[in-house]
Structure 1
Amino acid sequence: MTSRTRYRAAGALLAAVPTLAAAADTTLPRVVVTARVDSVSAFDLPASLDVIDLGRDSSRPQVNLSEVLGGVPGLLARDRQNHAQDTQLSIRGYGARATFGVRGVRLYADGIPATMPDGQGQLAHFSLAAGDRVEVMRGPFSALYGNSSGGVVQLWSADGGDATQADLRATAARYGSVAASARLLGSVGASGYNVAASVFDTDGYREHSAARRESFNAKLHRELPGGGRLDLVGNHFRSPQAQDPLGLTWAQVREDPRQATAVALQYDTRKSVRQDQLGASWRQPLGEAGDLRLSGYGGARAVTQYLAVPVAAQASPLSAGGVVDLDGGYGGLDARASWRGQAGGGDLEFTAGASADRQRQRRRGYENFRSDGAGPPLLGVRGALRRDQRDSVDNLDGYAQGWWRFAPQWSLLAGARYSTVRFRSDDRYVTAANPDDSGRVEYSRLTPVAGLAFAPHEDLRLYLSAGRGFETPTFNELAYRADGGAGLAFDLRPAVGRNLELGAKWRRAGGAALEAAVFRADTDDELAVARNSGGRSSFRNVGGARRQGAELSARLPLAEAWSLQLAATWLDAHFRDAFPLCTGTCTAPGDIVPAGTAIPGVAGRQGYARLQWNGQAWDAALEANAVGAVTVDDRGSASAPGYGLLHLEAARRWDAGQGRLRGFARIDNLLDRRHVGSVIVNEANGRYYEPGPGRSLLLGLEWQPR
């Protein structure tokens, strides 16, 4: 499908919305906290916003956030079947090329940033057991969250209510996967609480992919005099010794998709993570029209990772070794005030605030071998120190946003954020052959955004929004220079984007809803891999890139007990400028990537459908998801083929004495299709592919005492 044909099709979808408005009825969506406009529903805002309710009965293990994000158009969350690496998460192509963690998308858990000031984020500690809802924002207004805001994903824990509620849950599935969780909600006087704990163990679908995860989450809130509220949040996460099977070549995928790469066994590649954090938020009304919010958070994170860097590659005096040891703290503050009133005869809400975040990290590197000189080295163990530096990232941002209904059918949402991000590195490992790599750099950018919404009917909204955003290099991308020299890559520039979105939203009071959008995002100074050598990846700015496409989602009640959810995405992401590239391991670019080449890691087509039946005691669902082919490197020399999978669920509820018991079963990949679930973009050894699991049965029980 050509770009012109795609936009004509999307335009036809938008034009069809008023005709569909005569068909059915739905509940109104709740106000979305992500938008920071408290007095206005998500339906009335000129932005793509989705709320995923986690309170409903689930037939999944509740381990990874990717489990619940399948029905969000424009978003691709891929479970890598590798718990040493985080879920691959991208929104409209932003973040698709990250080889580890999440970048290009801002992450929050109960208001605490899970994305650090440099733009690198983690999802593993998100507690679905404690969760109430997930909010997803796509499009231009994501830029109001600052650096690396190609989209925003927030998890919110449930509030404790008047009635005490307990939930006990356990699941078991193929590949030795078991999970258990417990949650207690309630209140004492004016205070509510939500305490949840979970544990997950797996042998892994692939060889050398066993893992364990432990999580504890607590949320306390207290209602204050005058309508105020205080929230306290604490989170603990631990993942000891998660094995990393690494990626496979295409020949290895065809031979045995469950195998691990030989060097993964040779070096015992693995990762351990521990994270603890606390946060507090205070909200107080200022008279009848004002509102003040103050929040702060702090935490500590430690990561140890054993890589498969060859012993010979570590002979270079500039090598950082094959064991990564990171530990440090982070924290931040946010303050904002809101005012609601009238202007020009229409409603007005205005918010202004400032935020500051800080990350301090000690980064050490060690050899991943020890040798006594008498025989072959012992691999997969911590050896001699090869790197020792203190890194820090700070950001200081100011922002303002206003929503104004300036006519009965028209409203305007506009805002701007000015961000300053400072990087500093202090090298403590200096030798005659390894010079001082210390340095600092600062990036600043103003990111304005505005959107116009039109309400031709009470059940229909049309909108247009536009804005600018920016994305700094992360510390991992600054770590090595593209020319192979000593020091950090402080010559890298932030990528700057221009975003445009046209959309429509329709709803009815009995359950039906439809949303459609077309979008384009043009980026200057796109960041891409410059070279891979000796276990190091370095980056360079490669010019312009474009991400454009269309999205459609629908929720349709078909009968009293039947409903259908649909989501579809068409996405074209490509480099607009040609740029030089290293292939394999090299020191000087020898190939040219032509303009028009697809950005790797991006699926051009996505589809999702879920047919749900809810009976008196029984529930059942048939779910399908499809993902198009994905290129795996900047040259577009190879790709992971597209796939379509079917999943089946069934559940039964019983009223059993003092509580309710629910048993459930889910068959994933019902037709046992071989597929590549995720890819490692630009993997230097051609091991791009991470296979997805075959047919798997999950069984579970939930118990809720009365």
Structure 2
Amino acid sequence: MRTPAPFLIVSGLFLADPVHAAEPVPETLRAVQVQAAKVHAVDDFELPASSTTVDVGTAGNGRGALVGEALGGVPGLSARERQNLAQDTQLSIRGFGARSTFGVRGVRLLVDGVPATMPDGQGQLSHFSLLGADRIEVLRGPFSALHGNSSGGVLQLWSADGQAGDPWRLRSSAGSNGSASTGVQLKGKTGAMHYNVAVNHFRTDGWRDHSAARRESLAARLGFALAPAQRLDLLLNGFDAPHAQDPLGLTRAQVQADPRQATAVAAQYDTRKLVRQNQAGLVYTLDRGHQTWRLMGYAGQRAVEQFLAIPPATQGNPLHSGGVIDLDGNYGGLDARWAWHGALAGRPLELVLGANADRQRQHRTGYENFIGTTYGIKGRLRRDQRDQVQNVDQFAQAWWQFSPRWSALVGARHTQVRFRSQDHYLTAGNPDDSGRRDYSATTPVGGLVFRANDGLRLYASAGRGFESPTFNELAYRADGGAGMALDLSSSTSRNYELGAKWRAQSGARLELALFRADTDDELAVATNSGGRSSYRNIGATRRQGVELGWQQPVGESQHLQLAWTWLQASVRDGYLTCTGLPAPCRVPTNRVAPGSRLPGVPRQQLSARWQWQPGAWQWAAEVVAASDMVVNDLADARAPGYALLNLEAAREWPTTRGPLRVFARVDNVLDQRYIGSVIVNDGNQRYYEPGPDRGVTLGLQWLWDRGS
């Protein structure tokens, strides 16, 4: 496997975007950044969409190593850590992305406006750095579609912008299962340069057997004031996970016997993954009167090597691509946006036009995972192909406050995604499987906001969505044949939302949203066995539900936060599916009836947090709960629901060089047994990935004031 080159410094172009000028309100407003960049500061309170901002800051009491730690209080969002760092966090929004067996799909990811989702819709959270982050913004509902392919929701991480006088930070923690995290953040301003550089090291022995891992990450944001109203930002990200063991899923009987065990074949084949990624981006912003131009360019390299538990007998099929996946590729893109803010009929108006193009090239090879009787090593070549996917998008958006109480936001995006694959592994029993497939869609969206009074907004929105298959979904055919699954169709959805937002001068906030998404040609897991997932289109599905978010200050030192989601995700058109072994399944025979639940989606989720900060102390209690969820299409097996209690405590002392903070967190205080995540439709019925028992994290943080 080739190692990616060092950071690429890219010139390029970035964006401007419609955000909207709102009527003045008597308090300082948070700036929201719709479609990855802001034009005018406007509070998310004024938008016809469900949007949550999570302040990351410096007061976290966890490990600070995985982005899922910061996302527990977001309605409609599920971020499940799998106790398996060979696989990414299972991230879904309103049920979109819940079936993903690798990385993140169905949800659009961005870091400082640079896509972390590839042109095919497959994304990664691994290089998201909490240490360097300022906030995370989560957008749900119809307006997610304005971000392009596979936007059932949008998650954006924004790094802090260094300012003069900012302290530097050292943070270190250690905890159960040999986990340790140490990071350094350098932030500030020198001359015309704003800087924020964060480096972090994380390692763990893993709660389960055969789940040890190590991660190193670097995130840097360097901003340069070139001239009045001109700015250039250089963005660098590096990630290295040289050896992450994969314990695989467990059957129900294995969970009951010992939830910490790894499946026997995990040790036999030494199942594991190596990931390395480096990327860089440039963002140029120019303000000229009523116009804003933003231009962006980015490029990166990513390499993945994964050893699977596929027995040699299965690989005896001449069409099989082996038990080792080796991916090595590069990616990049350009984005240009122009925005105009002025007035129409004497009322505020914002317009934006833009286009972007992204491309990913990937060398996919497969090898046998044995030599002779030695397993878990790279053997004979079994697959060799060059893949390319690219998208070209155009979009427009307009916001108009056409009366003192009413505003409208409308937009549309046209997306074209092209897949190309060239097969270079040709044998007598394995013919040329080269192929190509194009997907395209236009996704309009619109919404209205009614200003009932200074503290209450009512809104409605509707739009269409589009999701192409990813290269991982196209990689393997459900019938076991060679080549890519080029018969897969894209999914299209119709999305609707009604909502209300209320806030008080005390800082209390309440948000309520009712939503529905009807999807045609839903992409679903066909077979999932031996580390290989194949997909198919199953017809029509529906996701509908209610979200509630509430924040309530109590006096001057206490704060309550609640996020609750009720989500009904079900099949609308019945279909035939496979069950159990053998895999692959060439002739589905088991019927899934209309109304059946979609797997991987709990009906209810709850996150509640109470925090008390008397003086230098901080205390917090947190409850996280989820109802049961089915784990396969037939819904004949399910993971039970659970409720967990977590506690935190911290104390801060002043020093001559800046405050020193010591913190502690106990997860799963009551030591409950539960299933943290599931592997949908696993062919071996190893659906379950157990969550950890009681765990403790202790740490310290020092903010070094260089001016003292």
* Aligned with residue 378 of structure 2, among 371, 376, 382: 382
For residues 663 and 430 of structure 2, the distance between their equivalents in structure 1, rounded to whole angstroms, comes to 59
For residues 409 and 183 of structure 1, the distance between their equivalents in structure 2, rounded to whole angstroms, comes to 44
1:215 equivalent to 2:211? Answer no
Q: Shift of the alpha carbon at 1:532?
A: 4.7
For residues 218 and 483 of structure 2, the distance between their equivalents in structure 1, rounded to whole angstroms, comes to 40
Cα contact 2:507–2:552 (8 A) shared by 1 = yes
Cα contact 1:550–1:569 (8 A) shared by 2 = yes
For residues 535 and 297 of structure 2, the distance between their equivalents in structure 1, rounded to whole angstroms, comes to 33
Which stretch of structure 1 is more off in the superposition, 133-142 or 181-190? 181-190
Which stretch of structure 1 is more off in the superposition, 450-459 or 218-227? 218-227
User: 2:12 maps to what in 1?
Assistant: none
- Equivalent residues in 2 for 1:63-462 (5 A)? 63-286=65-288, 288-371=289-372, 377-462=373-458
User: 2:513 maps to what in 1?
Assistant: 517
Indicate how the Cα distance of structure 1 residues 29 and 101 shifts in structure 2: closer, same or farther if over 3 A, else same.
farther
Which stretch of structure 1 is more off in the superposition, 381-390 or 28-37? 28-37
Q: Which amino acid aligns with 1:643?
A: Y
Q: Which amino acid aligns with 1:456?
A: A
Q: Secondary structure, in 3 states, of the residue corresponding to 2:146? A: helix
User: 1:703 maps to what in 2?
Assistant: 702
- What is the TM-score with the length of structure 1 in the denominator? 0.94
Deviations 1:155-211 (A, max 9, x none): 111111011421001001000000000001111112110111000010000000000
Q: Secondary structure, in 3 states, of the residue corresponding to 2:401? A: strand
1:569 equivalent to 2:565? Answer yes
Cα contact 1:95–1:103 (8 A) shared by 2 = yes
User: 1:3 maps to what in 2?
Assistant: none
- Equivalent residues in 2 for 1:528-607 (5 A)? 528-532=524-528, 536-584=532-580, 585=583, 586-607=585-606
For residues 652 and 413 of structure 1, the distance between their equivalents in structure 2, rounded to whole angstroms, comes to 46
Cα contact 2:308–2:530 (8 A) shared by 1 = no
For residues 100 and 489 of structure 1, the distance between their equivalents in structure 2, rounded to whole angstroms, comes to 17
Q: Secondary structure, in 3 states, of the residue corresponding to 1:253? A: helix
Q: Shift of the alpha carbon at 1:487?
A: 2.8
Q: Secondary structure, in 3 states, of the residue corresponding to 1:656? A: coil
Q: Shift of the alpha carbon at 1:310?
A: 1.2
Q: Which amino acid aligns with 2:435?
A: G
Q: Which amino acid aligns with 1:30?
A: R
Q: Secondary structure, in 3 states, of the residue corresponding to 1:674? A: coil
For residues 105 and 530 of structure 1, the distance between their equivalents in structure 2, rounded to whole angstroms, comes to 21
Which stretch of structure 1 is more off in the superposition, 444-453 or 588-597? 588-597
Q: Which amino acid aligns with 1:321?
A: G
- Equivalent residues in 2 for 1:662-681 (5 A)? 662-681=661-680
Q: Shift of the alpha carbon at 1:583?
A: 1.4
Deviations 1:217-272 (A, max 9, x none): 11100123231111001011000110000000011101100000000011000000
- What is the TM-score with the length of structure 2 in the denominator? 0.94
Indicate how the Cα distance of structure 1 residues 27 and 582 shifts in structure 2: closer, same or farther if over 3 A, else same.
farther
Deviations 1:435-472 (A, max 9, x none): 11101011110000000000010111100000000100
User: 1:31 maps to what in 2?
Assistant: 31
- Provide the alpha-carbon RMSD of the alignment: 1.3
User: 1:650 maps to what in 2?
Assistant: 649
User: 2:5 maps to what in 1?
Assistant: none
For residues 418 and 34 of structure 1, the distance between their equivalents in structure 2, rounded to whole angstroms, comes to 17
For residues 114 and 625 of structure 2, the distance between their equivalents in structure 1, rounded to whole angstroms, comes to 33
Q: Secondary structure, in 3 states, of the residue corresponding to 1:407? A: coil
Deviations 1:109-161 (A, max 9, x none): 11121110111111011011110110000000000011000000011111110
Cα contact 1:31–1:38 (8 A) shared by 2 = no
Cα contact 2:526–2:681 (8 A) shared by 1 = no
Q: Which amino acid aligns with 1:176?
A: G
For residues 95 and 28 of structure 1, the distance between their equivalents in structure 2, rounded to whole angstroms, comes to 35
Cα contact 2:101–2:533 (8 A) shared by 1 = no
Q: Shift of the alpha carbon at 1:705?
A: 1.6
Q: Secondary structure, in 3 states, of the residue corresponding to 2:69? A: helix
Which stretch of structure 1 is more off in the superposition, 31-40 or 585-594? 31-40
Cα contact 2:45–2:501 (8 A) shared by 1 = yes
For residues 347 and 488 of structure 1, the distance between their equivalents in structure 2, rounded to whole angstroms, comes to 50
Q: Which amino acid aligns with 1:362?
A: H
Indicate how the Cα distance of structure 1 residues 532 and 614 shifts in structure 2: closer, same or farther if over 3 A, else same.
closer
For residues 522 and 624 of structure 1, the distance between their equivalents in structure 2, rounded to whole angstroms, comes to 32
For residues 309 and 592 of structure 2, the distance between their equivalents in structure 1, rounded to whole angstroms, comes to 28
Q: Shift of the alpha carbon at 1:395?
A: 0.1
Which stretch of structure 1 is more off in the superposition, 479-488 or 566-575? 479-488
Q: Which amino acid aligns with 2:164?
A: D
Q: Shift of the alpha carbon at 1:56?
A: 4.0
For residues 534 and 104 of structure 1, the distance between their equivalents in structure 2, rounded to whole angstroms, comes to 24
Which stretch of structure 1 is more off in the superposition, 474-483 or 195-204? 474-483
Indicate how the Cα distance of structure 1 residues 533 and 50 shifts in structure 2: closer, same or farther if over 3 A, else same.
closer
For residues 528 and 208 of structure 2, the distance between their equivalents in structure 1, rounded to whole angstroms, comes to 26
Identity value in percent: 59
* Aligned with residue 527 of structure 1, among 502, 523, 526: 523
Q: Secondary structure, in 3 states, of the residue corresponding to 1:46? A: coil
Q: Shift of the alpha carbon at 1:26?
A: 11
For residues 495 and 586 of structure 2, the distance between their equivalents in structure 1, rounded to whole angstroms, comes to 35
For residues 339 and 490 of structure 1, the distance between their equivalents in structure 2, rounded to whole angstroms, comes to 42
For residues 534 and 431 of structure 2, the distance between their equivalents in structure 1, rounded to whole angstroms, comes to 18
Deviations 1:59-86 (A, max 9, x none): 0111111101000000000010100000
Q: Shift of the alpha carbon at 1:530?
A: 2.6
Which stretch of structure 1 is more off in the superposition, 272-281 or 40-49? 40-49
1:689 equivalent to 2:693? Answer no
Q: Which amino acid aligns with 2:571?
A: F
User: 2:498 maps to what in 1?
Assistant: 502
Cα contact 2:268–2:376 (8 A) shared by 1 = yes
Q: Which amino acid aligns with 1:481?
A: R
Q: Secondary structure, in 3 states, of the residue corresponding to 1:264? A: helix
Q: Which amino acid aligns with 2:337?
A: R
Q: Which amino acid aligns with 1:692?
A: G
Q: Secondary structure, in 3 states, of the residue corresponding to 1:476? A: helix
For residues 647 and 530 of structure 1, the distance between their equivalents in structure 2, rounded to whole angstroms, comes to 37
Gaps of 5+ in 1: 1-24, 372-376
Q: Which amino acid aligns with 1:686?
A: Q
For residues 369 and 487 of structure 1, the distance between their equivalents in structure 2, rounded to whole angstroms, comes to 22
Q: Which amino acid aligns with 1:258?
A: R
Q: Which amino acid aligns with 1:327?
A: D
Which stretch of structure 1 is more off in the superposition, 37-46 or 312-321? 37-46
